[in-house]
Amino acid sequence: MKSIYYIMLVFLISISNFLSNQNVTEKALNSNFVLEEKMSQNELTKISGVPLIQQYPLLPNGCEAVSAAMILQYYGFDITAQEFVDEYLFMQPLYYENNILCGPDPSHAYAGNPYTVTDGLGCYALVIVQGLKDASDSTWNVEDISGTALSDLEVWLEKDIPVILWATLDMKDIEYYISLYSNGQYFEYPAQEHCLVLVGMDDTHCYFNDPLYEKEISYDRKQVEKCYESLHRQAVVMYHKVS
C-alpha cells in the first residue's frame, strides 16, 4: 500500500510542477507581449538624409531661410541658404517712426535683414511657401499646412516628407513680444520665434534639424507641442507632384 501511496504522491507532485511551469511560461509570454506592445507604442518615425545647415555665422536671424534651404537640398536642389535669401526670400526693412518700430506684416514679408543680429525679426509660413515655390518648379507642391495638430504631422514623416515648423528657441516658453507696427495695425511678434525642420517623432520626443546646432537634436514632445501652439501651429511641406 505504501508503494501505491508513494507512486500517487510522485504523480501529484509531477502534475503540480508541470502546471507551475506552464504558468511561468504563460507569464513570460505575457510579459514579452506587454514589452513588445510598449515598444510598438513608442516606435520612432524618422527621416534620414535631410542636410543640416547652421544659421551662424552668416544668417544669425535667418532660421526660416536656412530651414527652407535644408528642404530644397534634401530634394536635390543645388542652393545655399544665402542664395535662398538673396533670390527667393521676400524681405522688407524695419525702421523707426516716432520711436515706433515699423515694418511688414511677417505673414507677407520677412521683417528686416536676416544677415544681421539686431535688424532682423523673421517671417511666417506664407513667406516661406512663396519662396519655396519660386525656388522650385511646377513639378513640386509646396503646401501651407498650418493649423495641423502636432500628432498629425507624423503622417508626412511616414512619407519621408520633412516638415518646416515654427516654434521657439530651444523650445522655451515665450518670455516677451516685440510690437511691430504695419499698415495701421500692431503685430506682437514673439522675440524667441524660431523655425526648424522636423525629421522624426516618437511618443515622447520630436527630432529636428535645428539651424542653431551642428547635429540633430531632440526635444520633449509635450514642450514642442506647447511651443508649436504658441506660434499658431505654423508648418510647411514640399513634395513632388504625382504624375
The mean-pLDDT minimum among 20-24, 148-152, 238-242 falls in 20-24
Asked if 93 contacts 113 with a C-beta cutoff of 8 angstroms, the reply is yes
> For residue 143, how many other CB atoms are within 10 A of its CB?
15
Q: What is the band of 28 on the pLDDT scale with cuts at 50, 70, 90?
A: very low
pLDDT in tens, 50-98: 999 999 999 999 999 999 999 999 999 999 999 999 999 999 999 999 9
**Residue 14 confidence (pLDDT) above 80:** no
Sequence-distant (≥ 6) Cβ neighbours of residue 182 within 8 angstroms? 102, 103, 104, 105
pTM for the model: 0.83
Task: Determine the average pLDDT of the residues in 225-237.
Answer: 98
* 103-148 confidence digits (pLDDT tens): 999 999 999 999 999 999 999 999 999 999 999 999 999 999 999 9
* Cβ pair 77, 135 in contact under 8 A: yes
Q: Would you kindly state where each structural domain of the chain is located, as residue ranges? A: 1-41, 45-240
Contact assessment for residue 234 and residue 80, using Cβ atoms and an 8 Å cutoff: no
User: Quick one: which H or E segment has residue 185?
Assistant: strand 185-190
Given a contact cutoff of 8 angstroms between Cβ atoms, the answer to whether 211 and 54 are in contact is yes
Q: Is 164 helix (H, G, I), strand (E, B) or coil?
A: strand
Instruction: Please enumerate in sequence order all residues whose Cβ is within 8 A of that of 59, keeping only pairs 6 or more positions apart, or say none.
Output: 65, 66, 81, 82, 85, 114, 115, 211
Superfamily of domain 45-240: Cysteine proteinases (3.90.70.10)
